[in-house]
A and B are shown apart, each in its own frame.
Chain A
Amino acid sequence: MIKEVFGKWIKRLFLFLPGMILISSTFAQSNDTYICKDVFISFYSPAPIADVAAQTDRAASAINMKTGDVYFKVPMRTFEFKRGLMQQHFNNDYLQTDKYPFATFEGKIQNFTPPTGDGTFPVTVVGQMTIHGVSKAYTEQGTLELKNSHLTAVTAFNISLEDHHIEIPTILNYHVAKVVAIKVKATYTLSDKK
């Protein structure tokens, strides 16, 4: 009799516990998530007549400092060029931003151990980048700086236009280099989700 009642309670406890763990673990996750909604991204490609260069500060990113997950989402239409006509061709003809409005990166910091305090950490990030609807695996170096619960991420890397099927019609002859240099800078704050 006692065993039966006790068993029932144990069962209830076992049902209740996972629920608690589920809820608390998601709480814990969001508390470790750093968010930046004004990521600065620039790209540059030297060309004989006119350099192809543009920048945006409207990209979004999140880094989970417990799991090392990294995520970027870049609204392609927000890239601003000095030359309006070049911007129009970028959107209409090269990147087809009406069809592929976002570029994304989903990855993880390699061999990640959550930092115990402030400091600067060189990191290697591995993941999938999707630009122009075409995904490719990337492994790139960057630097994270944690200071007073503000996280700054800086990275620079190259993208090959071919890898993402970005064809520049030969007739649209900007003489764009096949490789474009990308720079990224983001300052994150802790997600205020509780």
Chain B
Amino acid sequence: MHSFRTTSLIIGLLLAGAQLYAQQNLSNLFSDSTLNPPNQSAIGTFASPYIVNAQSNETLYKHSLTLYIAHRFDDIAGKYGGVKTLFGLDNAPDVKVGFQYGISNRLTVGIGRYKGAPEVRYLKVPFNTISELWFGEIKYRLLQQTENNHIPLAITLYGNALASSRAVDSNPSSDAHFNNFSDRWSFMIQAIFARKFSDKLSFAIIPIYLRRDYVAFGDENNMYALGIGGRWKFNRTMAIVADGFIPFRSATGRNYFKSNGITFYAPISVGWEIVTGGHVFHIDFTNANAISENQMIPYTTRSWGKGEFRWGFNLSRTFTL
């Protein structure tokens, strides 16, 4: 009788076990990998199509329309800053108004205008006198990084064309002494290589080719540059963003300008980014007067070291049509 009791206990336990097993079975029916689509792309490498001044790998979503307004003030310190100009607030070296539209999730086109940031100091060589810049741009997301690192980085291509509508400068050594319409143009091609390392940290490396059809004596029609940018998202709505460009100007060119009292600096920018729904708001500090990369890369002559940096803001508002 004793052994029978033990056996029935075992049977009972086994039955209960079977019942339990069957219940747990429901949650075991679906594995994570079969439910989640494979090779999901990493989203939000950067918060907007711009890092600070540099392009990020991001494009707009399909049928999104974004309005951009950006503003730069004058030098905070140095010869042209200080209390006299209320730390640069009196002047606006450059202003941008632009629109971008997402034709698809990969393809974005844009138009806009920069005030343009010609050099206002007296120069023996008027190499940077162009203003009233109208531009068209196109950006294509070639490759998206995937979360599982099957594709470890994102590649986006960018191109723009920019033309000045300013009056012809009578000074024949000026770069605005346009002889014909084609002299007003500059073109830029970029490839943006970006990687989202974590939820918080993203970086981009951007090889750039810049073509200016008409330049001052000693300047270069064809120029290469390397852009570097990053974003550290320190909470869910805010981030620190930074970017910089290394323009590759020939030694002869550099020396020629140096002998005329002009030194070129790498444009370096740091910004505080606040994302608010459809808005992206930046407060930026940069030594570049210009907002347009077409001017910023070849013409930055202000130095962080001399206090010749300024604050500015970038504002974008996205509408879905």
Interface set of A (CB-CB < 8 Å, partner B): 11, 14, 17-19, 21-22, 25-26, 29-30, 33, 35, 37, 50, 58-60, 62, 64, 67, 69-71, 73, 75, 77-78, 82-89, 91-93, 98, 101-102, 104, 106, 169, 171-174, 191
Contact = CB atoms under 8 A, between A and B. Distances in A.
10 contacts: A22-B17, A29-B22, A84-B105, A85-B278, A88-B43, A93-B237, A169-B236, A171-B237, A172-B277, A173-B277
Given A84-B105, A171-B276, A172-B236, 4 more contacts: A18-B10, A22-B15, A33-B29, A77-B40
A17 B25 CA distance: 22
Contact of B23 (A58, A69, A83, A98): A69
Which of A58, A83, A191 counts the most chain B CB atoms within 10 A? A83
Contacts of B30: 37, 60, 62, 73
Which of B22, B37, B60 counts the most chain A CB atoms within 10 A? B22
B22 A75 contact: no
B64 A85 contact: yes
A11 B22 CA distance: 27
Nearest to A19: B14
B320 interface: yes
A84 B11 contact: no
B44 interface: yes
B35 interface: yes
Which of B30, B64, B105 counts the most chain A CB atoms within 10 A? B30
Interface in B252-278: 274-278
Given A60-B35, A92-B44, A22 B29 contact: no
B100 to A, nearest CB: 13
Interface size bracket, B side:
35 or more
A21 B275 contact: no
Contacts of B25: 26, 29-30, 33
Given A60-B30, A62-B29, A172-B236, A67 B18 contact: no
Closest 3 A-B residue pairs measured CB to CB?
A84-B61, A29-B22, A71-B26
Contact of B26 (A64, A88, A93): A64
B15 A21 contact: yes
Given A14-B7, A73-B35, A169-B237, A22 B14 contact: yes
Contacts of B320: 50, 82-86
Contact of A21 (B11, B23, B35, B147): B11
Interface string B1-22: 0010001001100110111011
Contacts of A174: 277
Contacts of B180: none
A60 B26 CA distance: 11
A98 B42 CA distance: 10
Interface string B289-321: 000000000000000000000000000001010
Interface in B15-65: 15, 17-19, 21-23, 25-27, 29-30, 32, 35-37, 40, 43-44, 60-62, 64
Given A22-B17, A89-B277, A84 B10 contact: no
B23 to A, nearest CB: 6
B90 interface: no
A102 B236 contact: no
B11 A17 contact: yes
Contacts of B236: 92-93, 169, 172
